[in-house]
Each structure stands twice: as structure tokens, then as C-alpha cells.
Amino acid sequence: MAVIKNQNNQQKGVALVVVLLVVALVSIIATDLTGRLQREIRRSANIFDHQQAQYYALGAEKFAIAIIQDDLKDSPDRDDLDQAWATKGLYFPVEGGDLTGVITDVNRCFNLNSLVAKQDDDFYIADKESVAYQSYQRLLDLLGFSTGLVEPLVDWLDSDSQPIGMDGAEDREYEILSPAYRAANNLIVDVSELRLVQGYSDDIVKKLSPYVCALPEDGYFQLNINTIDVDKPELLSMLIKDLSVQSAATLLAERAQSGYDDLASFWQLSALAGIEIEGKVKSVIQLNSDYYQLQAKARIGRGHEGLTTLFKQVDKEKVNIIWRRFGTLE
């Protein structure tokens, strides 16, 4: 009888151990499932917040178009920093977060794609005697860079495979790199693309970026005298070669917030007296702008979204979206 009792006790003990193991296993599985469920819930919430942020950013795009169109109706032939679109630090509290944005005039910088112009056979070529080419050389010099940097950039843009000068660079110079690549032989889309061009180090691109832009038009060189940044007189000095940076800085500092009502008022300024300016140079200076850029950021809960959009004024009332890019580039 004692043996049977011991066997029963052992079986009960084994059964208890099995039950405890099952309970422990079920607890582990339940804990893991609960953790997974919580992660999925959080993930879904993050996706929802991100989508909401994206929609708010797109709403900022619509708002920007409306503001620009309103100003076009009020003053179709002038753009200046006193208009509604130029308001800095726009902030909108929204449910669950906030929305910020800024609209800038992209005719206040040098268009890198103006260095080449398309011929009848859709062939991009550069003209060393053009206002754009010579202005860019002077801008490089004013910023303390070698004027030879214009040549590898032109080779990157033009359609041929022959270096334009001693400092030029075509496929041969890029194919020996690791990783190897080839010259674009096309217009650039973003200023950051300069990092691929021979001679344009990160430091050079960083210092040059505030002065240049990449508009989707070859040979297009236009500067709005009403919106050029006060702290970038080099842009005016590069165009008017006999105008010193100091004089250009004074000229911009004395400009009213509302800018100039007509070009005659600008060309009659005392700072420009005695300077002989060619007609093709004067044609670059304008009072209105064709391109605008929106940079918006939306924050909803855990969701964050940045949006950069390039607009173009196609007539006196209509504004088109040229491209948009989600995300932020710091």
C-alpha cells in the first residue's frame, strides 16, 4: 500500500509540475502577444499620426497657392517682402499638434541651370560670354572660391562630352572614382546635386547654397531686386561688376520693405551713378517673380512630416506646382 501511495504522490507531483509549466508557458505567450498587440497599436497610431501630418502639410500647400494667387491679383507686376506670402514664421495650431511654414521667392538667387541654354536640336550648350556665365564666375570669386569651378559645373550640365576648359570634367573624370558614375549632361534638380560635381566639396556647397538655386529652366536668369536678401549683396555685385559688395550691401539695406515701384527708380540710385551697365545685364533685374518655394512642417502626435514644394506663376492669376518633396533636408 505504501508503494501505491508513493506512486500516487509522484504522479500528483509530476502533474503539478506540468500544470505549472503550462501556466508559465501560457503566461509567456500571453505577455508576448500583449506586447505585440501594444506595439501594433502604437505602430498603427504612429501611421495614422504621420498620415494626418502629411495631409496637413498638403493643406499648407493649398494655402500657399491661395496666398500667392491673392497677391498676384492685387499686384500682378510686382513682388516684394511686404506682401502676405513673404510673412515669416507662420504658425498654425491644429488638433493634436501644429503646422509651420514659410514661402520664399526663388528669384532671389542665382539659377545654376542658367549656365546652359538649349539649342534647336535639344542640345544644352554654354556661352562663356553670357551674363549668367560671367556673373557666376564673379560670384565664386566674391565668395572666395576659384572661378574655375564654373567649368566642371557647365560640363555637368551641357550635352557634349568635351571638357569646356582646363578645369572641366566629363565622364572620364568621374568613371575613375569609386563608386564610378558619369556626368549628368542635363539640368540639375536640386542644389545638393553639386556634391557630385568635381571640385564641389561639402564646405563649398554649404557656403554656396544660400546664394544659388536650381530652377527647371535652362538659360533662365532673373533676379527680383525687391526680394534679394539684405545679407547677400554678392548677388547684386556679381551682376553689376563695377558695384562693390559694400555698395551693394548699402543699397539693399536702404531698400524699403515694399521694394521699388518701378525699375527706373532703382537704376537712378546714387550708388549706381557713373556705372555703365549693359542692357542685357539690366534685363536680369526685375520687380516680379515667377518661382516660389514652400517649406512646411506638420507635427501631429508622434507623426512628423516635412514638405517642400516649388511653384511657378504661369500667368497673372494661375500658379502651378512644379514638384513637391516630402521629408526634410537639414
Q: In this structure, is residue 220 part of a structural domain?
A: no
Q: In this structure, is residue 226 part of a structural domain?
A: no
Q: Is residue 11 pLDDT above 70, yes or no? A: no
Residue 187's CATH number: 1.10.40.60
Whether residues 74 and 154 share a domain: the answer is: no
Whether residues 198 and 167 share a domain: the answer is: yes
- The pLDDT assigned to 6 comes to 60
Whether residues 20 and 51 share a domain: the answer is: yes
Residue 67 pLDDT level (bands cut at 50, 70, 90): very high
Q: In this structure, is residue 284 part of a structural domain?
A: no
Range of the domain at 129: 110-214+231-279
Q: In this structure, is residue 223 part of a structural domain?
A: no
Q: Is residue 202 pLDDT above 60, yes or no? A: yes
Q: Which of 3-12, 21-30, 39-48, 50-59 has the highest mean pLDDT?
A: 50-59
- Mean pLDDT, range 74-87, rounded to an integer: 89
Higher pLDDT, 172 or 317: 172
Residue 189 pLDDT level (bands cut at 50, 70, 90): very high
How many domains would you assign to the chain?
2
Whether residues 55 and 140 share a domain: the answer is: no
Q: Is residue 3 pLDDT above 90, yes or no? A: no
Q: Is residue 100 pLDDT above 90, yes or no? A: yes
Q: How far apart are CA 132 and CA 215, in angstroms?
A: 14
Whether residues 102 and 114 share a domain: the answer is: no
Higher pLDDT, 154 or 74: 154
- The pLDDT assigned to 9 comes to 61
- Mean pLDDT, range 264-293, rounded to an integer: 93
Q: Is residue 48 pLDDT above 90, yes or no? A: no
Whether residues 200 and 64 share a domain: the answer is: no
Q: Is residue 8 pLDDT above 80, yes or no? A: no
Whether residues 202 and 77 share a domain: the answer is: no
Closest by Cα among 274, 298, 317 to 91: 298
Whether residues 254 and 125 share a domain: the answer is: yes
Cell for 177? Answer: 572614382
Whether residues 37 and 139 share a domain: the answer is: no
Domain limit, last residue, from 258, 279, 300 = 279
Q: In this structure, is residue 42 part of a structural domain?
A: yes
Average pLDDT, the chain: 89
- Mean pLDDT, range 241-258, rounded to an integer: 93
Whether residues 16 and 67 share a domain: the answer is: yes
- Give pTM, 2 decimals: 0.84
Q: Is residue 119 pLDDT above 60, yes or no? A: yes
Whether residues 120 and 182 share a domain: the answer is: yes
From 15-24, 77-86, 107-116, 286-295, the region with the lowest mean pLDDT: 15-24
Residue 317's CATH number: 3.30.1300.30
Whether residues 319 and 273 share a domain: the answer is: no
Residue 43 pLDDT level (bands cut at 50, 70, 90): confident
Percent of the chain past pLDDT 70, that is, above it, reads 95
